[in-house]
Amino acid sequence: MGDATDILYEVPEPAIARLTLNRPDTRNAQSTRLLYALNDAFQRAAEDDSIKVIVLRAAGPHFSSGHDLREPKEARDMALYDTVGVWGGYRGPGAEAQMAREKEIYLGFCERWRNLPKPTIAQVHGKVIAGGLMLIWPCDIVIASEDAQFLDNTVGMGVGGVEYFVHPFELGPRKAKELLFTADWLSAQEAERLGMVNRVVPLTELEATTMAMARRIAAKPGFALKLAKEAVNAAEDSMGRAQALKTAFALHQLAHSHNMQVHGMLVDPAGLAPAVQKKRSA
For residue 279, give the amino acid letter.
Answer: K
168: containing domain: 4-204+222-281
DSSP SS3 for 222: helix
Q: How far is CA 202 from CA 2, 120, 171, 173, 188, in A?
A: 33, 21, 23, 29, 11
pLDDT per residue over 153-194, tens digit each?
999 999 999 999 999 999 999 999 999 999 999 999 999 999
Determine, yes or no, domain membership for 146.
Answer: yes
Determine, yes or no, domain membership for 196.
Answer: yes
Determine, yes or no, domain membership for 213.
Answer: no
pLDDT > 70 fraction of the chain, expressed in percent and rounded: 95
Determine, yes or no, domain membership for 210.
Answer: no
Give residue 277's pLDDT: 43
pLDDT per residue over 29-72, tens digit each?
999 999 999 999 999 999 999 999 999 999 999 999 999 989 99
Q: What are the beta bridge partners of residue 120?
A: 54
Determine, yes or no, domain membership for 249.
Answer: yes
275: pLDDT strictly greater than 50: no
Q: How far is CA 67 from CA 28, 131, 173, 230, in A?
A: 9, 5, 24, 29
Determine, yes or no, domain membership for 31.
Answer: yes
Which pTM was predicted? 0.93
CATH code of the domain containing 162: 3.90.226.10
In eight-state DSSP terms, residue 106 is: I
Determine, yes or no, domain membership for 96.
Answer: yes
Determine, yes or no, domain membership for 211.
Answer: no
Domain tally for the chain?
1
